[in-house]
Structure 1
Amino acid sequence: MIFLNGRTHMSRRNFLATTGSILAATALTTPAIAQTRQLTIISNRGNADQRKALETIASAFGKEAGVTVSVNNMDHEAHKTAIRNYLVTSPPDICFWFSGSRMRSFVDRGLFDDISDLVVRENYADVIAHTLGSVTVGGKQYGLPTGGILWGLFYRQDTFDQHGLTPPKTFDDFFTLAQKSRAGGIVPMSIGTKDQWPCGGWFDHMNLRINGLQHHMDLMAGKIKYTDGSLKDVFDRWEALIKADFFTPNSTSFAWDPAAAALVQKKAAMMDLGNFIKYAFPAEDLSQVRFLPFPEIKSGLEQYEDFSVDSIHIPSGAKNKDVGREFLAYFYKPENLSTYLAPEGNVPARSDCPIGNDPILKMAVDAMKTVKGTAQYYDRDSDPDLAQAGLKGFQEFMVRPERRDNILAQIERARARIHG
Structure 2
Amino acid sequence: MAGVALATTRRRFMIGTGAVLAGGLLARPAIAQARELTIISNIGNADQRTVLQRLADEYAKASGVAVTINNMDHEAHKTAIRSYLVVGAPDICFWFSGNRMKAFVKRGLFDDISDLYEREGYKDVLGATTGALTVDDRQYGLPLGGLLWGMFYRKDVFEEKGWTAPATIEDLLKLGEQARSAGMVPVSMGTKEMWPAAGWFDHMNLRIGGLEKHLALMDGKLPYTDASLKPVFDKWEELIRADLFTPNHTSSGWEQAAAALAQKKAAMMDLAGFIKYGFPPDEVDQLAYVPFPVIDPSIARYEDFSLNSIHIPKNGKNKQDARDFLAYFYKPENLAAFLEAESAVPPRNDCPPSKDPLINAAVESMKTVVGTAQYYDRDTDPDMAQEGLKGFQEFMVKPERRDQILERLEGTRKRIFKE
Which residue matches 1:352?
350
Give 1:73's match in structure 2, choosing from 62, 71, 74: 71
What displacement does 1:414 show?
0.6
Give 1:215's match in structure 2, choosing from 203, 213, 237: 213
Contact 1:93 1:321 in 2 (8 A): yes
Moved beyond 3 Å, runs of 4+: 26-35
Provide structure 1 residue ranges, at least 5 long, that are not aligned to the other structure.
Answer: 1-25
Distance 1:162 1:58 in 2: 49
Distance 2:413 2:170 in 1: 32
Q: Which aligned pairs between 1:152-301 and structure 2 lie closer than 5 A?
A: 152-301=150-299
Distance 1:165 1:261 in 2: 21
Over 3 Å counting, the alpha-carbon distance change for 1:33 and 1:387 in structure 2 is same
TM-score under structure 1 normalisation? Answer: 0.92
Give 1:394's match in structure 2, choosing from 392, 395, 419: 392
Over 3 Å counting, the alpha-carbon distance change for 1:28 and 1:327 in structure 2 is closer
Distance 1:275 1:29 in 2: 50
Give 1:118's match in structure 2, choosing from 98, 104, 116: 116
Residue 120 of structure 1 aligns to which amino acid in structure 2? E
Over 3 Å counting, the alpha-carbon distance change for 1:29 and 1:315 in structure 2 is closer
Q: Which aligned pairs between 1:359-374 and structure 2 lie closer than 5 A?
A: 359-374=357-372
Greater Cα offset, 46-55 or 356-365: 356-365
Which residue matches 2:38?
40
Distance 2:328 2:255 in 1: 37
Which residue matches 2:13?
none
Contact 1:153 1:294 in 2 (8 A): yes
- Partner of 1:148, secondary structure, is strand
Which residue matches 1:343?
341
CA RMSD of aligned residues (A): 1.5
Q: Which aligned pairs between 1:403-418 and structure 2 lie closer than 5 A?
A: 403-418=401-416
Greater Cα offset, 283-292 or 241-250: 283-292
Determine what percentage of the aligned residue pairs are the same residue.
61
Distance 2:375 2:5 in 1: 57
- Partner of 1:131, secondary structure, is helix
Over 3 Å counting, the alpha-carbon distance change for 1:323 and 1:399 in structure 2 is same
Which residue matches 1:82?
80
Distance 1:157 1:115 in 2: 43
Which residue matches 1:142?
140
Provide structure 2 residue ranges, at least 5 long, that are not aligned to the other structure.
Answer: 8-29
Over 3 Å counting, the alpha-carbon distance change for 1:29 and 1:265 in structure 2 is closer
Over 3 Å counting, the alpha-carbon distance change for 1:249 and 1:33 in structure 2 is farther
Residue 373 of structure 1 aligns to which amino acid in structure 2? G
Q: Deviations over 1:357-384 (max 9, x none)?
A: 2011111111111111111101111111
Residue 343 of structure 1 aligns to which amino acid in structure 2? A
Contact 1:35 1:68 in 2 (8 A): no
TM-score under structure 2 normalisation? Answer: 0.92
- Partner of 1:174, secondary structure, is helix
Which residue matches 1:20?
none
